[in-house]
Amino acid sequence: MLEVRTLGCFDVRLDGRPVEIPSRPAQSLLAYLVITGGTSHRRERLAGMLWPESKERNARNNLRHVLWRLRRTVGERYFKTDGLMVSFDTAQPYWLDAERLQTGADDRPLEQVLEDLRVYGGELLPGFYDDWVVLERERLRAIFERRMQKALDRLMERARWSEVMEWAERWIALGQVPEPAYRALMHAYAGQGDLAGLAAAFERCETALRNELGVEPSEPTRRTFEMLSRGDPPGVGTRPLGRVNEAWTATALRAMLEEWCRRGVETLDLASLSIIHAAPPGLTFETKHAALLIRSALEHEVDLQPWLERAQSPEEATAILQQALAANPRPQIRRRIVHALEGLPGERSLEALARVAASDEDLSVRAIAALAAARRGRHAPVMRDLRDAMLHKGDSMAFDAFVVVADELGIPAGIGTYPKVRVALNLGRRRWRAHRDRVLQATWRGALGVGLAMAVFGSMTPLLVALAMPDEFQAQLRFVSVSAWSFSGAMAGLVIGALQGSVSSFAVNLAESLWRGWLRERMRLVCGTLAGLAYGLHLIVFSLLGLLSPRATPSVYIPLDLLYGLVVGFGLALLVPPWDIERARGSLPIRLALAISILVLATVPYVYWVYLGLAAETLPSRIGLVTFLCLGMVLAFRKSWARAGGLGPQADARRSVAAPGSRRYGEGRR
């Protein structure tokens, strides 16, 4: 199980063992994803949040590298990622102290509430200064103080004075000079009859407030001291702690916002914004106040959702976002506004998205708005509007937006004619750019895995010849030693295997990147099968050079070599895992057995037709060769199969059991 502590320290443990995450951006990213667990975040937003001063391409590359490191150190299963989104998978076993603090109910047994409060070891992520940390730090501190106040009230009602003192001192030790904690301490001393301790507690409070904040004790604190000094019974007929901080009441917060608006403040600084962020959930503000908060959140590039919830209705939040959209020319801010509009319910937000999709001057903003409106039920109307703009107005951005929506959601029927070839070419280019790194990485893995397997097989060539053709073996020893023969066979096997492994892996993964839906499965096999022509061509070239000795004529063995290569390509394609491993039908052992069986059944007639009288001597080596080709492909992608649980026959059962209860991508507790 993954354990993450963020309150008072940053500590990560996996199954009880410490996990070292040396990079500060990696630590910040992990903390953010876990704290917002279950929420899907766009990659460009995460990259901009962690590397705000870097160019977008560099920031995206940094994010990709950090995610790779987190997967290696924490584990693949804890992250859900695709080309657009990243999230922490809350379905996996994990424990987070900040979540324990937030989710516990105050009406549970008091001991359970106190256990929840024990997890608060200090402020969130000390030493981190990201904007999101500053805001979340204040919010969690406010939650802790509200819960601590209620817990102390319950302890005082039960006259558990020693525990009141313990928890009040714990609160004071965390800093911020909490007056409610000092008032609770005074009640505890009075309850124990210790008037000297009562006076000392008030003096401590007075000194701390003067030294730390330069203020005098508040009226509730002075009144509590005077009441208890007169001998009034502690904790009887009153709730001595009152509110934790008067600045967090609805009246005070609205007064602060009104004053800022009166002074003409356009955006709040982060410290002022954090005061509002720490307010109790559910507190809403009038339009001009909510607009100030949303503008400030946009300026600081923090999560917009908490601020949209401060508006009195989704329609009001939509109106504020439309005003911000009209006033803000920066594309990165406009993209965030569009994403926020997508999440707001109602026709008004949908109409706003449609207008942006039809007219915005920035391609990325327009494409995101078109995609958002299409997801919200206007797929066909949006595509028709974009088609009309690109055909009748020559709007190139409309064409690009059309391609983006087609890539994500497809092209609905009934939208009329459009340039199919041009759209298909641009779709292919877009998908290749999006998945190029993944395709090339798979190509490299295929080359390495199959190349190593074939090098091992090639080094066994002298042994195979000695067993199948002893006379030929003795004849060869007159010209070359066994070690040199074995080395040359290994090098030839390495080259042949790397070539075939790279071509097959590239072809299958290219199909994964270019096609969608039911066509993807077919094109995987088609492209993988065609990749086998590389194997057939190498057989033809080796035969023409005399390195192989077919007994059949070229008019016979050349087409047979090509046909046999296609069968080899089909068998290897079965062993390349799909990107969405849940689509894999059958576990890896079943697929491996099927691929080897197909290739062996094809090898027997091929050898007898091509090598005629040498068939008996050649057949064992040919069967061994195709077997090692398959094993090399398994070696190349063993981690992908293992990560999906596809290395055993129980994998299908696990998938069938897990599917009904699995969460959809992007669902979570927040």
* Residue 302 pLDDT exceeds 60: yes
* Residue 245 pLDDT exceeds 70: no
Residue 485 is predicted with a pLDDT of 76
CA atoms of 86 and 34, how far apart (whole Å): 11
Mean pLDDT of the chain: 86
The DSSP secondary-structure symbol of 124 reads: B
- Residue 399, token pair as written in the block: 């064409």
Residue 655 is predicted with a pLDDT of 40
- Other Cβ atoms closer than 10 A to 221: 21
Contact indicator for 528, 572 with CB cutoff of 8 Å: yes
Residue 641 is predicted with a pLDDT of 79
For the beta sheet containing 85-88, the strands, ordered from the edge strand earlier in sequence to the opposite edge, are: 41-42, 85-88, 79-81
* Residue 649 pLDDT exceeds 50: no
Q: Which helix (H) or strand (E) holds 434?
A: helix 420-459
- Residue 120, token pair as written in the block: 């608060």
Residues contacting 135, CB < 8 A, separation 6+: 270, 273, 274, 277, 302
Residue 643 is predicted with a pLDDT of 63
Residue 581 is predicted with a pLDDT of 65
Which pLDDT tens digit goes with each residue over 517-527? 888 889 999 99
pTM of the predicted structure, to 2 decimals: 0.71
CA atoms of 37 and 669, how far apart (whole Å): 7
The DSSP secondary-structure symbol of 21 reads: -
Which whole number is the average pLDDT over 375-389? 91
Phi/psi of residue 80, nearest 5 degrees: -105, 120
Residue 2 is predicted with a pLDDT of 93
Residue 23 is predicted with a pLDDT of 87
Q: Which residue has the tokens 């400030």?
A: 296
Nearest Cα to Cα of residue 373 among 394, 357, 390: 357
Residue 55 is predicted with a pLDDT of 82
Give the 3-state DSSP-derived string for 153-212, with helices as H, strands as E and coil as C. HHHHHCCCHHHHHHHHHHHHHCCCCCHHHHHHHHHHHHHCCCHHHHHHHHHHHHHHHHHH
Long-range contacts for 220-224 (Cβ within 8 Å, ≥24 apart)?
220/179, 220/183, 221/179, 221/182, 221/183, 224/183, 224/186, 224/187
Percent of the chain with pLDDT over 70: 91
Residue 657 is predicted with a pLDDT of 35
Which pLDDT tens digit goes with each residue over 189-224? 999 999 999 999 999 999 998 888 888 988 888 988
Which whole number is the average pLDDT over 231-237? 66
- Other Cβ atoms closer than 10 A to 649: 12
* Residue 350 pLDDT exceeds 60: yes
CA atoms of 206 and 183, how far apart (whole Å): 11
CA atoms of 416 and 384, how far apart (whole Å): 8
Residue 502 is predicted with a pLDDT of 96
